[in-house]
Structure 1
Amino acid sequence: MFSVVTGGAGFIGSHIVDALVKKGDRVLVIDNLSAGATTNIMPLIESGKAEFLQADLLDDGWQERISGAGRVFHLAADPDVRASAISPARVFDNNVLATERVLDAMRVHGAKEFVFTSTSTVYGEAGVIPTPENYSPMIPISIYGASKLACEAMIAGYAHTYGMKSWVFRFANIIGERSGHGVIWDFVHKLIDNPEELEILGDGKQIKSYLSVGACIEAVLFAIENSDEAFNFFNIGSEDWIDVTALAEIVVEEMDLSGVRFTYTGGDRGWVGDVPKMQLGVDKLKTLGWKPETGSVESVRLAVKALLKEIKYI
C-alpha cells in the first residue's frame, strides 16, 4: 500500500513510519520540520524505503503528491497544550485548517482512508474516569483540545459526505524515544540544569495515564485492521495512572540523583487548560482483542531511559 504520513518526521509520526515500512508499505512523509527532524527517519530515506517531502500543509504544492495513496495518516499538528492559550490562532491554523486542507486534498485526488491522531483533552474535565469514547458532553478546556474536537467533527463530515473511511484515535499521554516535549523532557532538562531542586507545576497531585509509543502504534494499526465503519474512533492509553510527583521520583531515580528538593507552583493544575485527572477507558479496543501490556509506571521508566540515552546522559 502507498501510505502518506503528515508530521512523519516527528515523535509519534516517525514511529508510525517505521511500522508502515516494516509491514511493506511505500511511504511518503510530508513534514515542515517545525517540530520534527529528518534524523528520526533518515535511515529509511537513505535506504529508499521512505520518501520525504518538506512542505507546510498551509501552503500549496503538496496536494497532488497524495494521489494514489491508499491511506493518509495525519499527525502534523501544533501539539503544545500550554502554548495554545498564548497563540490560539496559530493552533487553529496548524490543527483545524491544516486538517481540512488534507481532507480536501484527499477528496480532490481520490484518497479514501484517513487516520487522525486526536487527544484525551477533547473530553475536558470528564465526570467519568476511566472516560469511555461515548462520554458526553465533550467540553474541552484548552484551545488545543477544542481544535482537535473540531477536527474530529470535520473528519466525520468528510467521511460521510464523500465516502471516505476514517479512524480517529484519542491518545492518553504517549511517551518514549524521540519525544522532544512533555513533562519527562521538562523534568530531565530542569534537573540537568539544577540537580538539587526540581520545580513541579501545580501541586504534584495531578494524576494521568501514560503509555509507551510502541504500544500506542501497535494499538493504532490493530484498530485499523479490525474496524470498518465510515467513522471509527478509539481511546488509546494504559489502564492505570500515576501522579506527577511519583513521575518526578522515577526521573530522579533513573538519573541517579539523591536529595533532590521538590518545589511546587501551587494550584490543582500545572497551566491553563491542564486536566488534573485523566485516564481513558479502552474497553472498545479490548473488545476487538487489544489491550495495553504496559502500565504507566513502566512506560514512564522506559521513556526516561530512552531520553537519557538520546541526550547521552548515560
Structure 2
Amino acid sequence: MFSIVTGGAGFIGSNLVDALVKKGDRILVIDNLSAGNTDNISEHIKSGKVEFLQADLLSNGWEENFSGADRVYHIAADPDVRASAGIPESVYQRNVTATINVLEAMRKNNVKEIVFTSTSTVYGEAEVIPTPENYSPMIPISIYAGTKLACEAMISSYAYTFGMKAWVFRFANIIGKRSNHGVIWDFVHKLKENPKVLEILGDGKQSKSYFSVEACVDAVLFATENSDETFNFFNIGSEDWISVKELAEIVVCESGLEDVEFRYTGGDRGWVGDVPKMQLGVDKLKNLGWKPATNSKESVRSAVKTLLLEMEN
C-alpha cells in the first residue's frame, strides 16, 4: 500500500510511521517541520523505506505527490489546545484549511481513503462520562476543538460526495515517545528548572484519560482493518482516568524528587477551553475485538520515564 502521512515527522505521526514501516507500506511523509523533526524518522529515510517532503499544506506544489496513493493519514495540525485561544485564525488555517487542501488533493488525484486524528475535546463538557461516540450535542469550548469538529464535518461530506472512505479517531490525551508538549512535558521541564516547587494550573482535581502513543497507533490500525463504512468514527483511550495532582505525583516520583511543593493557580480548569473531566467510552472499538493495552497510570509512568531518558540523551 502507498500511504501518505501528513505531519509524519511529529509526535503521533512518527510513531505511526514506525508502525507502517513494519507493516510494509510504501510511505511518503509530508511535514513543514514547524513541530516535527526529521530525526524522528531519519532511520526510515536513510533505509529508503520512507520518502520525505518538506512542505506546508497551506502552500502549493505538494498536491501532485498524491498521485497513485492508496490512503492518506492526515495527522498534521496545530495541536496546542491551550494556545489556540490566542491565535484562533492561525489555528483555523492550520487545521481546517489545511484539511480541505488535503481533501482537494485527494479528490483531484483519485485517492479514496483518509484517516484523520481528531480529539476528545469535540464533545465539549459532556454530561455522560465515559462519553460514547453518539453523544450529542457536541459543543466545543476551545478554538482547537472547534476546528477539529469542522474537519470531521468536511471529511464526512467529502467521503459521501466523492466516493471516499474515511476513518476519524477521537483521541484521549496521547502521551509517550517523542512528545514535545502537554502536561507531562510541562511538569518535567518545570521541575528541571525548580526541583522544589511545581506550579499546577487549576486546582489539580481535573481528571482525564491518558493513553500511550504506541497503544493508540495499534488501535488506529486495528480499526482501519476491521471497519468498512463510508465514514467510520471511533474513540481511542484508556478505560480510566487520573487527576492532574496524581499525574504530578508520578512525575515527582519518577524524577527522583522529594518534598516538592505543589502550587495551584486555582479554579476548576487549567486554562480557557480546558475540559476538567474527560474519559471516553471505547465500547464501539471493543465490539470489533480491540482491548486497551494499558491504563492511564501505566501510560503516564511510562511516558515520564521515556521523556526523562530523552532529555538525558
- TM-score, scaled relative to structure 1: 0.99
Q: Deviations over 1:71-117 (max 9, x none)?
A: 00000000000111000000000000000000010000010000000
CA distance in 1, matches of 2:218, 2:261: 38
CA distance in 2, matches of 1:45, 1:187: 33
Q: Which amino acid aligns with 2:47?
A: S
Q: Which amino acid aligns with 1:160?
A: Y
Matches within 5 A, 1:127-146: 127-146=127-146
Residue in 2 that maps onto 1:196: 196
Matched, 1:207 2:207: yes
Report the CA distance between 1:293 and its aligned residue. Answer: 1.9
Q: Deviations over 1:114-144 (max 9, x none)?
A: 0000000000000000000000000000000
CA distance in 2, matches of 1:190, 1:285: 37
Residue in 2 that maps onto 1:224: 224
CA distance in 1, matches of 2:48, 2:28: 11
Once the two structures are aligned, what percentage of the paired residues are identical?
A: 75
Residue in 2 that maps onto 1:41: 41
Q: Which amino acid aligns with 2:29?
A: V
Matched, 1:123 2:141: no
Matched, 1:71 2:71: yes
Report the CA distance between 1:160 and its aligned residue. Answer: 0.1
Report the CA distance between 1:289 and its aligned residue. Answer: 0.4
Residue in 1 that maps onto 2:284: 284
CA distance in 2, matches of 1:83, 1:187: 17
SS in 2 for 1:141: coil
SS in 2 for 1:288: coil
SS in 1 for 2:287: helix
Matches within 5 A, 1:78-227: 78-227=78-227
SS in 2 for 1:93: helix
Q: Which amino acid aligns with 1:218?
A: D
CA distance in 2, matches of 1:204, 1:246: 8
Matched, 1:62 2:62: yes
CA distance in 2, matches of 1:293, 1:229: 25
SS in 1 for 2:8: coil
SS in 1 for 2:60: coil
CA distance in 2, matches of 1:14, 1:67: 22
SS in 1 for 2:154: helix
CA distance in 1, matches of 2:239, 2:176: 17
Q: Which amino acid aligns with 2:284?
A: K
Report the CA distance between 1:237 and its aligned residue. Answer: 0.2
CA distance in 2, matches of 1:291, 1:121: 22
Report the CA distance between 1:12 and its aligned residue. Answer: 0.3
CA distance in 2, matches of 1:197, 1:127: 35
CA distance in 2, matches of 1:293, 1:162: 36
Residue in 2 that maps onto 1:253: 253
SS in 1 for 2:105: helix
CA distance in 1, matches of 2:223, 2:98: 24
Residue in 2 that maps onto 1:27: 27
Q: Which amino acid aligns with 2:97?
A: L
Q: Which amino acid aligns with 1:12?
A: I
CA distance in 1, matches of 2:173, 2:66: 30
Query: Structure 1 unaligned runs (5+)?
Result: none
Q: CA RMSD in A?
A: 0.5
Q: Deviations over 1:124-175 (max 9, x none)?
A: 0000000000000000000000000000000000000000000000000000
CA distance in 1, matches of 2:159, 2:110: 13
CA distance in 2, matches of 1:293, 1:76: 25
Moved over 4 A (4+): none
Residue in 1 that maps onto 2:51: 51
CA distance in 1, matches of 2:279, 2:29: 31
Q: Which amino acid aligns with 2:162?
A: Y
SS in 1 for 2:284: helix
Count of equivalent residues:
313
Q: Which amino acid aligns with 2:298?
A: E
CA distance in 1, matches of 2:137, 2:273: 17
Query: Structure 2 unaligned runs (5+)?
Result: none
Report the CA distance between 1:291 and its aligned residue. Answer: 1.2
CA distance in 1, matches of 2:265, 2:173: 22
SS in 1 for 2:312: coil
